[in-house]
C-alpha cells in the first residue's frame, strides 16, 4: 500500500511538469493582423497561466490528500502489527495453560485410580476375613429354639450385608474397564456414573436416594446391560430395610431380564429372605433351585451348607 501511494504521487508530479511545459511551449498561429495576434497571444498566455495555477493547486491538494492517506495507512499497519503480536502472546499463554491442565488431569486420574484400587483391595480382604468369622459362628450356632433362630437371622443379615458390599465394590471396580454401555437418554459416561452413584449411596446406607437412582435407570432403558443389576440392587435395598416380603418380589423380577448376570445372586437372596420371615420350607426350595440351576455359582457351597442346616 505504501509503495503504491508513493508511485501515484510521482505520476502526478510528472503530469504537472508536462502540463506546464506544454502550456509554455504553445505557439500562436500567425494571422494577418499583428494587433490581433498580440491580443490573442496575451489572452492565451493569461488563460494558460491561470489554468496552470489552478491545476497546480489541484495537484497540491491531491498530493496532500495522498500524504494523509499514506500516514493513515502506516498507522493502520502499526496497529495490525501490535494486535498480531498480542494475539500470538495470548495464544502461547492459552497453549501453556492447556498443557498444564492436561498434565494435572492426567496426574489426578492416575492418583484416583491407584487410590481406588488400593481401597478396593483392602476392603475386599477385610470383608473376606469377616465372612470367614461369620462362617465359623454359623457352624457353632444351633437352630433348634427361637433364641438361636434369632441369632441365625442376625447372622443372615450380617452375611448379606457383607456379600452385597463386596459385590458393589467389585462392580464399581469392573465398571472402570467397561466399554460403551448403549442407552437412550443418557450418554455412556452419564449412565455409568449414575449407576456408580447409586452403588455408593447404597454402601453408605442411603437407601432412599439409591432406590430412586436405580428405578430411574430402569425407566430410562429396561433393556440396558446394567438394568438387571439395577433391579437386583433394588431388592438389596428392601432387604437392607428388612422389608423381606417386598424384597422377595424385587429379586424375582431379576429373572425377567434375559441372560442376567444377577440370576444366581437373586436366587440365593430369595433363600435368605424366606429364612428371615421364618419360612424354612420355602427357603430350602429356593436353595435347592440354586443347586439345580446354577452349579457353577459362587454361592453353590454356601447354599449346600444352608441346606444341611435347615
Chain segment 117-154, per-residue pLDDT in tens: 666 666 666 666 666 556 556 555 544 444 455 555 55
Tell me, yes or no, whether 60 and 160 share the same domain: no
Reply yes or no on whether the pLDDT at 274 is more than 90: yes
CA angle 55, 59, 60 (to 5 degrees): 120
- Rounded Cα distance between 303 and 297, Å, is 10
CA angle 188, 198, 165 (to 5 degrees): 120
Tell me, yes or no, whether 158 and 304 share the same domain: yes
Residue 269 domain-assigned? yes
Residue 120 domain-assigned? no
Residue 14 domain-assigned? yes
* Overall domain count for the chain: 2
Full domain range(s) for residue 241: 141-309
Reply yes or no on whether the pLDDT at 26 is more than 60: no
Tell me, yes or no, whether 190 and 298 share the same domain: yes
Q: Which of 7-16, 177-186, 229-238 has the highest mean pLDDT?
A: 229-238
User: What cell numbers appear for 34 in the block?
Assistant: 499583428
Tell me, yes or no, whether 69 and 157 share the same domain: no
Reply yes or no on whether the pLDDT at 159 is more than 70: no
Tell me, yes or no, whether 30 and 170 share the same domain: no
Of 34, 61, 92, which residue is a domain's last?
Answer: 92
- Rounded Cα distance between 65 and 70, Å, is 9
Tell me, yes or no, whether 194 and 267 share the same domain: yes
Of 34, 66, 92, which residue is a domain's last?
Answer: 92
- Reported pTM: 0.49
Residue 122 domain-assigned? no
- Rounded Cα distance between 288 and 304, Å, is 8
Q: What pLDDT shows up at residue 173? A: 59
Amino acid at each position: 500500500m505504501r509503495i503504491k501511494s508513493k508511485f501515484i504521487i510521482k505520476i502526478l508530479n510528472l503530469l504537472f511538469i508536462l502540463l506546464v511545459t506544454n502550456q509554455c511551449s504553445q505557439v500562436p498561429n500567425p494571422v494577418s493582423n499583428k494587433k490581433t495576434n498580440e491580443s490573442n497571444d496575451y489572452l492565451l498566455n493569461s488563460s494558460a497561466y491561470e489554468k496552470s495555477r489552478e491545476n497546480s493547486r489541484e495537484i497540491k491538494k491531491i498530493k496532500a490528500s495522498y500524504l494523509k492517506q499514506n500516514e493513515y495507512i502506516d498507522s493502520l499497519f502499526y496497529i495490525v502489527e501490535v494486535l498480531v503480536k498480542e494475539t500470538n502472546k495470548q495464544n502461547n499463554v492459552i497453549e501453556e495453560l492447556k498443557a498444564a491442565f492436561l498434565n494435572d488431569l492426567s496426574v489426578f486420574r492416575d492418583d484416583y485410580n491407584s487410590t481406588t484400587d488400593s481401597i478396593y483391595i483392602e476392603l475386599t480382604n477385610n470383608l473376606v476375613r469377616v465372612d470367614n468369622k461369620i462362617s465359623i459362628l454359623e457352624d457353632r450356632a444351633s437352630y433348634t429354639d427361637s433364641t438361636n433362630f434369632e441369632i441365625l437371622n442376625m447372622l443372615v443379615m450380617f452375611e448379606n450385608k457383607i456379600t452385597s458390599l463386596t459385590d458393589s465394590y467389585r462392580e464399581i471396580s469392573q465398571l472402570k474397564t467397561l466399554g460403551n454401555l448403549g442407552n437412550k437418554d443418557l450418554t455412556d459416561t452419564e449412565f455409568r456414573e449414575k449407576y456408580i452413584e447409586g452403588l455408593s449411596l447404597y454402601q453408605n446406607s442411603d437407601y432412599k436416594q439409591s432406590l430412586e437412582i436405580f428405578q430411574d435407570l430402569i425407566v430410562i432403558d429396561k433393556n440396558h446391560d446394567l438394568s438387571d443389576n439395577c433391579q437386583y440392587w433394588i431388592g438389596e435395598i428392601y432387604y437392607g430395610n428388612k422389608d423381606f416380603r417386598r424384597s422377595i418380589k424385587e429379586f424375582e423380577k431379576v429373572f425377567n431380564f434375559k441372560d442376567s448376570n444377577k440370576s444366581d445372586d437373586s436366587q440365593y437372596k430369595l433363600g435368605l429372605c424366606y429364612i428371615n420371615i421364618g419360612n424354612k420350607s420355602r427357603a430350602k426350595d429356593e436353595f435347592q433351585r440354586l443347586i439345580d440351576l446354577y452349579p457353577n455359582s459362587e454361592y453353590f457351597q454356601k447354599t449346600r451348607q444352608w441346606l444341611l442346616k435347615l
